[in-house]
Structure 1
């Protein structure tokens, strides 16, 4: 009897130990490390940058600071909008510092460079700030997700309703690099598919300051709509200068990618009545307001869609690690694709096989100054576009991961 009791106790101890080990999960080096590689000082720093670092911090704090009993550590760095700088930092983070996931990557050239390095080293990337469609199409990798938007969705949601409303002829002013080209190409496609036509385009070297020549070319084209395929500080300068040249009175100015920070920067009087595609608005409902007020408390401004998307990406990465019981990238990717995704940013969301997060998008219009009832009350949501209507269908994707 004594021997049987000893075996029974020993067996119970083994089971308890196994259960405890499972609850703790498999964390490769005893810590989950998240690297936020972003534009901290350049043209896009207002849309991502310090705000994306803060959004990541909020997600970690909301999750509880630990996952599977192990601490979560956040590191950040400035990629200076240079792919070589980003690639060097990513290699250093992965090889020396054991970073598990590199995220934000708010520049398409940067994202494309870093996601390939991460795939080679069996680490994860979560692109929240870069929008080139190829990131989850022909350049997709098995360890990358594109979380917030792409130029296909921005162009489709941002141009088709305007073409249908009578803005039939267009002229593009485009940032001359991967993101700008992708936004221009996708925009031209949907304008033509909607029955419109493109009269011309001008490409400027990024970053830009003086847009006079490009704006005069757009003005002389007499196009119904002038599309700015750019973002951040460049976009704000374009809008201000377009007002100075009088384009806004005769032609429809369309931002292919605009954020609430851009609206704040140029002011409601300059931006009023502009329509564009958005993926988040802070004043949409109780969930968005709760996150936004937490962000505002530390940042002194409301979050952009890209910053809200960064919060969502980090939060769901941690949820996936917990669900998988592991920080191994294959386990995390499998968990992300299987689990429901809903938070202050992501609505009706799911992660596809090509790594693209499919979620609701919105057509918004900028309020006139007299319509705004409180600070940062800038948008009217004109239309909600379900993700399966906004994003590229899998049938059009060139992602090799979709092949049998």
Structure 2
């Protein structure tokens, strides 16, 4: 079969392995390689807007001359270094509006404002925010680097009346007030009823303002709340937010951990705990960067056991998913392929290293978890085709015997 007659699916698969800078060369292979090459090349756009940049003008001319290219764009990240949202810049705003009107298949957009205060001008709202709202397939908006928000409802102009159901806030700072009573409440017009998934990455400087001024009533239909943890002290803020009664429809809790956890003996105080009893689905994930930090993974397993231990007897939890590096399994790095899997009941080393695992095993099979239907354990860097896959599965069954015996364990 000649290269011109390859199936389109195979061409797509081949191009997916090609470096981005070499994809334009793929379009010269044959006529039927042009479309998949363009699709991969324009799928994700990264736009940095600076005073000397002409990127928006170039994109506007390109999409006007070849509108089919804009239909390939699925996600856009915009870094604004001009503060065009707060300063009069009619030419720049008009060009941005021209680009946005072509992105009819856009699904995700991230707006990074590099710490600027939020205060969009009426022109910015008319020429940028409203066109974003009219994008028919937009489902995810991420706002980062914004400061001085009165409350999260301040950004309702960005997502209101849109098809967006997911909102991400990264290093977005709320305005600090002298008194809680000084915070303007969320009005009915400012509610974001279309948002069902909220992802928060709390700022380092003042994460406590979220626990003080966070108004969950801005999200009346929120089903999933996600925290991207970069500082373990932010758990205190998360605990306060979750204790609020402003989230009547919450079903899923997601926490992605990418920060170190130090022993209580080092920090001088115990690790913060919070109840997750209200959630039907609970997902904890650890960063892949901890693949070589076995002791750190062990501490997180122990902390998860402590968190689940304070579950109330009337909790709603049905599914739990835990994602950890493969090296987090006890003694995995000290045994070789083909070695017998030691049993922690007879092996002293494994008994010590599996202590937190066995505590987690006991908690998840306690009477408080009568509604629990599945415990899914995902191991990073563990391929099913790996020669050690069978040993890994056996190791998991050893450290979680009660969960396994109840038929809850899924790998």
TM-score band, normalised by shorter chain: under 0.3
> Computing the radius of gyration over CA atoms, which structure comes out larger, 1 or 2?
2
Q: TM-score normalised to the size of structure 1?
A: 0.27
- Between 1 and 2, higher relative CO (CA 8 Å, sep ≥ 6) is seen in 1
Q: TM-score, normalised by structure 2?
A: 0.27
